[in-house]
Amino acid sequence: MTQLSGSVDLEIHGNTAHLILNRPEKLNAMTVKMDEEINSYIYEINNNLEIRSVVLYGKGEKGFCAGSDLTDLGDYGTNWEYRNRFDRNLDYARAIWLIKKPVVAAVHGWVVGGGLEMTCASDIRIGTPDSKFLAGEIRWGWHGGSGQTQLLTHTVGPGNANLFLLHGEKVEADAALRMGLIQEIVPREDVLKRAIEIAESIAEKAPIAAQMTKHMVRMAQSIPLEVGLLYENDSFSYCMTTEDAAEGQRAFAEKRKPQFKGR
Amino acid sequence: MKLPQFPAEFKFSLNNKVATITLNRPEKLNTMTPDMGKALLELVPYINGNDDIRVVILTGSGSKAFSAGSDVKVLDQYGSNWQLRNRVDYARGIWAIRKPVIAKIRGYCIGGGLEMALMGDIRYAADNAQFGAGEIKLGWHGGAGNTQLLPRVLSTGKALEMLLTGDLISAQKAEQYGLVDQLLTDAELDAAVENLAARIADNAPIAAELAKHLVRVSQSTAIDIGLQYENDTFAYCFTTEDSNEGRQAFVEKRKPSFKGK
């Protein structure tokens, strides 16, 4: 495998995991090695009960992520092997999608290609005035393969998605906010702080209810509404059997803050 | 990718492009522990990433059982109820295998064992096989596919008969129901499965894996979408070297030799 710089780092701060794209000199362009690293963290994030939410961000001034490092695509193997990367736990946007805990993305500067796919695979997205979003694949002769045509369409609607996907030019932060691609715009120096604030607030909620909520919002995007309403009621009923729901009711009656344990 | 380490309750072998996974806990009817499930889950990316593997056979040691599902006595090893809900499930491991999977079934095929068999693609069974979704007798229903896959393989009435009674059905009845694709004597079973696996392994791997994928898609998407998806993967097949080899071999009246490229 080609020797290229960069890493994806996992840090755990309290009940929040930080996933950090760490290749600032190359706009955090993802190499196969970084792809392997991010995938290697997913089991830990999903199964460590101490982790209740996730923040995703990229290091450096220029941007969140430029997507795949096109000079390293060969390391994914033949066309058929590259097509089958999901089955080998080797797709970085898919890795974000597979996280069961709520993910807050803090994005700034360039958010391109696979970087945009990771953003769309997150649950809440905070941007900066200088954020620029681009699904540039079409300019090189393909479309994204890890959610670009599907997740972006669910995120911003078909007309906006087609603008991204077919036009292939950058969309600025204010337009992205209008489309719902990002939920807030905050100054560059505050974006990580704001994402952490949201993630830590989520981490204070009952973990089972928070994770179920994420799951049901996903369901709302992929199943018929009538089934979703029935499923929601069953998952609500399950939540009400948990110790945390009992604690929530007690705390409400006693006018104090509930202490949740994830049980 | 390196072959992961397995506990003794789990055997893996590879011969002539055919991988065999053997659940090896015969004294406990090949019931699954969380450790065995973890081993199976670690094996899946290896199988998917190894080009020498074209077909997978899943079976149990001995003739008493394929698998009687989860070992109910060690269910607590999964942790809290929420952790059980979030388990990485062994039957889902079978589902995650991209290559064709043949279940070779002798004796009991119950609960999670039935789910593993259903997550496979083709089921061959010996005439001593017995099938059941017995969870209901213990106070729950299957959590890794029995309620979703049985009605796709059987009719809804037959699926519900199994799911609501939890009773065992014979191999003969399972064949009538379509749960077993071929019913054989114990003496015939190994050779029949080997033969089936070899015939699949001789075909073009990309086309075979896509055929499996598209059959899955047909069970989960609207027919108009499925037909369009099929046409796009059909077109993709024609970009492969193997499709050229197939056409050449056809013209030259010889057997094609496929490479998975």
For chain A, list the domains and their CATH numbers: 7-203 (3.90.226.10), 207-253 (1.10.12)
Task: Let me know if residue B3 belongs to a domain.
Answer: no
Residue of B45, B240, B261 with shortest CB distance to A88? B45
Tell me, what CATH number does B216's domain have?
1.10.12
Give how far Cα A193 sits from Cα of A119, A137, A161, A196, B207, Å: 17, 31, 29, 5, 49
A226 part of the active site: no
pLDDT of residue A2: 52
Are B186 and B213 found together in one domain?
Answer: no
Are B196 and B216 found together in one domain?
Answer: no
For A89-147, how does the pLDDT look when each residue is reduced to its tens digit (9 = 90+)? 899 999 999 999 999 999 999 999 999 999 999 999 999 999 999 998 998 899 999 99
> A262 and B86: CB-CB below 8 Å?
no
Distance separating alpha carbons of residues A217 and A98, to the nearest angstrom? 14
Per the structure, the complete domain to which residue B232 belongs is given by 203-251
A117 part of the active site: yes
> Angle at Cα A91 formed by Cα A90 and Cα A94, nearest 5°?
130
Q: Is the pLDDT of residue B5 over 90?
A: no
Are B120 and B136 found together in one domain?
Answer: yes
Closest-CA residue to B128 (of B174, B72, B71)? B174
* A69 close to A30: Cβ distance less than 8 angstroms: yes
Q: Does A262 touch chain B (CB under 8 A)?
A: yes
pLDDT band at B175 (very low <50, low <70, confident <90, very high): very high
Are B140 and B210 found together in one domain?
Answer: no
Q: Nearest chain A Cα to B84, which residue?
A: A47
Chain A residues in contact with B98 (beta carbon < 8 A): 84, 87
**What does pTM read for this prediction?**
0.88
Q: Is the pLDDT of residue A38 over 80?
A: yes
pLDDT of residue B140: 93
**B176 CA to chain A: closest CA distance, Å?**
32
Residue of A87, A89, A262 with shortest CB distance to B82? A262
Q: Does A245 touch chain B (CB under 8 A)?
A: no
Are B196 and B79 found together in one domain?
Answer: yes
Strands B55-60 and A63-65: unpaired
* B26 close to B62: Cβ distance less than 8 angstroms: yes
**B49 CA to chain A: closest CA distance, Å?**
6
Q: Does A100 touch chain B (CB under 8 A)?
A: yes
pLDDT of residue A155: 94
CA atoms within 13 A on the CB side of B148: 13
**Domain stop point among B201, B224, B243:** B201
pLDDT of residue B195: 98
Pick the residue of B86, B220, B225 with the most A CBs within 10 A to test the interface with A by mutation.
B86
Tell me, what CATH number does B33's domain have?
3.90.226.10
Distance separating alpha carbons of residues B212 and B121, to the nearest angstrom? 8
Task: Let me know if residue B1 belongs to a domain.
Answer: no
Pick the residue with more confidence: B170 or B78? B170
For B23-71, how does the pLDDT look when each residue is reduced to its tens digit (9 = 90+)? 999 999 999 999 999 999 999 999 999 999 999 999 999 999 999 999 9
Question: Which strand (E) or helix (H) includes residue A134?
Answer: strand A132-134
**A51 CA to chain B: closest CA distance, Å?**
13
Q: Does B1 touch chain A (CB under 8 A)?
A: yes
Chain A residues in contact with B51 (beta carbon < 8 A): 81
The total of other beta-carbon atoms located within 10 Å of residue A159's CB is 9
Task: Let me know if residue B2 belongs to a domain.
Answer: no
For A198-213, how does the pLDDT look when each residue is reduced to its tens digit (9 = 90+)? 999 999 999 999 999 9
Q: Is the pLDDT of residue B1 over 80?
A: no
Rounded mean pLDDT, A48-62:
97
Distance separating alpha carbons of residues B23 and B33, to the nearest angstrom? 11
Task: Let me know if residue B4 belongs to a domain.
Answer: no
Pick the residue of B80, B87, B237, B261 with the most A CBs within 10 A to test the interface with A by mutation.
B80
Task: Let me know if residue B130 belongs to a domain.
Answer: yes
Q: Does B49 touch chain A (CB under 8 A)?
A: yes
Are B186 and B75 found together in one domain?
Answer: yes
Task: Let me know if residue B256 belongs to a domain.
Answer: no
ipTM: 0.79
Pick the residue of B48, B94, B98, B221 with the most A CBs within 10 A to test the interface with A by mutation.
B48
Q: Is the pLDDT of residue A49 over 90?
A: yes
Q: Does B148 touch chain A (CB under 8 A)?
A: no
Number of folded domains that form chain B: 2
pLDDT of residue B2: 84
pLDDT of residue B134: 94
Are B208 and B195 found together in one domain?
Answer: no
Are B47 and B61 found together in one domain?
Answer: yes
For A227-263, how does the pLDDT look when each residue is reduced to its tens digit (9 = 90+)? 999 999 999 999 999 999 999 999 999 999 999 999 9
Distance separating alpha carbons of residues A124 and A55, to the nearest angstrom? 10
The total of other beta-carbon atoms located within 10 Å of residue A48's CB is 13
Are B230 and B189 found together in one domain?
Answer: no
Task: Let me know if residue B258 belongs to a domain.
Answer: no
Are B128 and B150 found together in one domain?
Answer: yes
Q: Nearest chain B Cα to A80, which residue?
A: B261
Q: Is the pLDDT of residue A168 over 90?
A: no
For B177-210, how does the pLDDT look when each residue is reduced to its tens digit (9 = 90+)? 999 999 999 999 999 999 999 999 999 999 999 9
Q: Which residue has the tokens 């213990």?
A: B138
Are B119 and B234 found together in one domain?
Answer: no
Closest-CA residue to A216 (of A242, A191, A196, A238)? A238
pLDDT of residue B185: 98
Average pLDDT in chain A: 95
Closest-CA residue to B23 (of B61, B69, B74)? B61
Q: Which of A25, A36, A37, A117 is catalytic?
A: A117
Q: Does A150 touch chain B (CB under 8 A)?
A: no
For B206-256, how does the pLDDT look when each residue is reduced to its tens digit (9 = 90+)? 999 999 999 999 998 999 899 899 999 999 999 999 999 999 999 999 999
Are B131 and B24 found together in one domain?
Answer: yes
